[in-house]
Amino acid sequence: MLFGRPDLLVLTTPFAIIAVWSVVARPTKIPVAEVTLGNHTIREGEATTWSATVTPGPTLDSIVAVMSSGRWRELDPPHGIVVADAARTMAPVTLKIVVRSTHWGCGSVGPALIAMNSTWGAFRSGPSVVASAALVTVPLPAVFDTNVPAPHPSGLVGVNRSAIRGDGTEFASVRPFHVGDRLRRIHWPVSLRTGALHVAGTYTDRDTEVIIVLDAGNDVGWSDGDAGAPTSLDLGVRAAGAIAEHFMRRGDRVGLRTFATVKTARLTSATGAAHLRRLLIELANVQVGTAGLRRTDPPPLGLRGGGLVVMLSPMLSPAALQQAVTLVRQQLTVLVVDTLPEGVGGPDGVDPSRTLAWRIRLLERQDEIRRVEEQGVPVVAWRGPGSIDQVLRDLGRRAGAPRVVRR
C-alpha cells in the first residue's frame, strides 16, 4: 500500500480530494464582466456607483473586484475590495463600489481589477484590468447670495432696476399723465391736489449680462478637498460657480472666460439650467496654466459694454491686474474678486526664508492692488455670502453718476 507506507496514503488524501474536487468543478466558460458607472458627471462631495455585472457559470465560486482610490476619490467600502458569492446561482451577480469625489475636475474612476475564482480557488480568470471610466466633477458652488441688483442692466426682461424709465416695479417719480400711460398707474392723491392727472413713474426691470473671468495662472495653497482648506484656484472656481448660479437663477445671462489656463474657456452669455451645467463643466476643465499670461494679451471678452465683468483672481500676477485695468478703460463695469486664501504666506515653521519671501510678495501685491483701485477697479476679497454686496451697490450708484470718458 503506497510503497508499504499507509501513513503516506493518509497524508496525501486531503490533497487528492481537493485536486479531484477542483478538477471536477473546473469552469467551462470564462464569464464576462460588464462595467458601468452610474453618473459620469457629479458635483463635489457627491457619489456615483461603479458596478460590474457578471453572469456566473455553474462552477464559478466567487468574483472579486479591487479598485484603487485616487487622491480625490473616497470609496465605499474604504478598502475598495468587493467579493461576491457566485456559488449556487446562475443569475447575474453585481459588484458595486460607491465612489465619492472630493474635488472638482475631470478625472476617472479606477482602474479596477476583476478576478473570478472556481471552487477551492483552483482556477482563476484574471485579475484583469478594467479600463477607467471618465468622471467629471463639477465644482460645488460656494454659498453665495446678494440682494443688490447688478449695475447696467441692458437686456429685455429681468429683475434688475435699469436706469431707463418705463413699465416696471421700482418707483421713480410722480409725473404728469401722458397718452399711453396705464390707468392703474394714476396717482390719485397728487391728481386731486393738482387738478391734473399724474401717474407714478417706474424704472424698467431688465436682465443684465455678467461675464465671469477666471485667472488660472496660479494655484496657491494646499487643497484638502471639499471639506478642507481650498487653494486659490479652488476658491476661484467655486466662487465662479456660485456667482454664475446666483445670477442665472435671477434670469440674468452669464458668460465665462478663463485665461492663463491650459485650455482657454470661452462660453458666451446665456441663461438656463443647461447653460449653468455647461458652465460648471467648463469650470471643471480648468487646469493651472504654466505659460502665464503676457501683459499684451487682449482681454478675452467680446463684451460691448453695459454688462458686469467679475474677475476672479488671486492677484499674484501683475498681468492679471493689467487685464482688469484694460477692461475698465473699455467702459466696462469691472469687479475684481480676490481669491487668495486666508493664511497663505503665514509662518509655516519650516523655512523662515520662504515666509520672508511670501511677506515681501504680499506687500508688493498690496501695492499693486492699491494702484489698480486707483484706476477705478474695485477689489474685494471672497468671503462667501454678501462678499460683493457693497461693491455692487457702489457700482450701481456710480453707474448713475456723470463720469469722464477717455476718447
Partner 1 sequence: MNGVIWPASIRTIIVSAALGAVLVLSAAAKSPLTTGGVVWFTALGAVAAVRPDSHAGLPFLVAYGWYWFVNVEGSLTLRALLAALCLATYHTAIAAASLAPLRWPGHRVIATRWIARLAIVSAGTAIVWKLAETLDSSPRAGRVVPFGAALVVLVGLAWLLTSASTRGVDSPTDDGE
Residues forming the site for partner 1 (CB under 8 A): 1, 4-15, 17-21, 23-24, 26-32, 62, 64, 66, 77, 79, 81, 83, 85, 87, 117, 119-121
| Block residue for cell numbers 469650470 | 283
Closest CB to partner 1 among 6 and 166? 6
Judge whether 214 and 188 are in contact, CB under 8 Å.
no
Closest CB to partner 1 among 78 and 298? 78
Residue 358 CA to its chain's centroid (Å):
28
> Shortest approach of partner 1 to residue 370 CB, angstroms?
56
CB burial of residue 319 (10 Å; 0-12, 13-18, 19+) = middle
> Shortest approach of partner 1 to residue 17 CB, angstroms?
5
How far is 52 from 70, CA to CA, in rounded Å?
19
> Shortest approach of partner 1 to residue 93 CB, angstroms?
13
> Shortest approach of partner 1 to residue 260 CB, angstroms?
42
> Shortest approach of partner 1 to residue 82 CB, angstroms?
9
Judge whether 301 and 213 are in contact, CB under 8 Å.
yes
Q: Which amino acid is residue 207, in one-letter code?
A: D
3-class state of residue 292 by DSSP: coil
Closest CB to partner 1 among 26 and 354? 26
Closest CB to partner 1 among 66 and 190? 66
3-class state of residue 354 by DSSP: helix
Judge whether 237 and 274 are in contact, CB under 8 Å.
no
Nearest CA to 333 out of 148, 204, 156, 157 is that of 148
> Shortest approach of partner 1 to residue 274 CB, angstroms?
40
Closest CB to partner 1 among 19 and 192? 19
Nearest CA to 103 out of 233, 232, 225 is that of 225
Closest CB to partner 1 among 8 and 196? 8
Nearest CA to 128 out of 140, 146, 111, 115 is that of 115
How far is 58 from 325, CA to CA, in rounded Å?
73
Closest CB to partner 1 among 66 and 106? 66
> Shortest approach of partner 1 to residue 19 CB, angstroms?
8
Q: What is the CA radius of gyration of the chain?
A: 32
> Shortest approach of partner 1 to residue 90 CB, angstroms?
16
Closest CB to partner 1 among 67 and 303? 67
Closest CB to partner 1 among 121 and 352? 121
> Shortest approach of partner 1 to residue 77 CB, angstroms?
8
Q: What letter would DSSP give residue 143? A: P
Write the DSSP string, 347-378: --SS-HHHHHHHHHHHHHHHHHHHHHHHTT--
Closest CB to partner 1 among 15 and 188? 15
Peptide bond into 77 cis (omega under 30): yes
How far is 131 from 137, CA to CA, in rounded Å?
19
> Shortest approach of partner 1 to residue 5 CB, angstroms?
5
Residue 153 CA to its chain's centroid (Å):
26
How far is 93 from 62, CA to CA, in rounded Å?
10
Write the DSSP string, 55-109: ---TTEEEEEEEE---TTEEEESTT-EEEEE-TT--S-EEEEEEEEE-S-EEEEE
Closest CB to partner 1 among 65 and 336? 65
Backbone angles phi, psi at 326, to 5 degrees: -60, -40
> Shortest approach of partner 1 to residue 37 CB, angstroms?
21
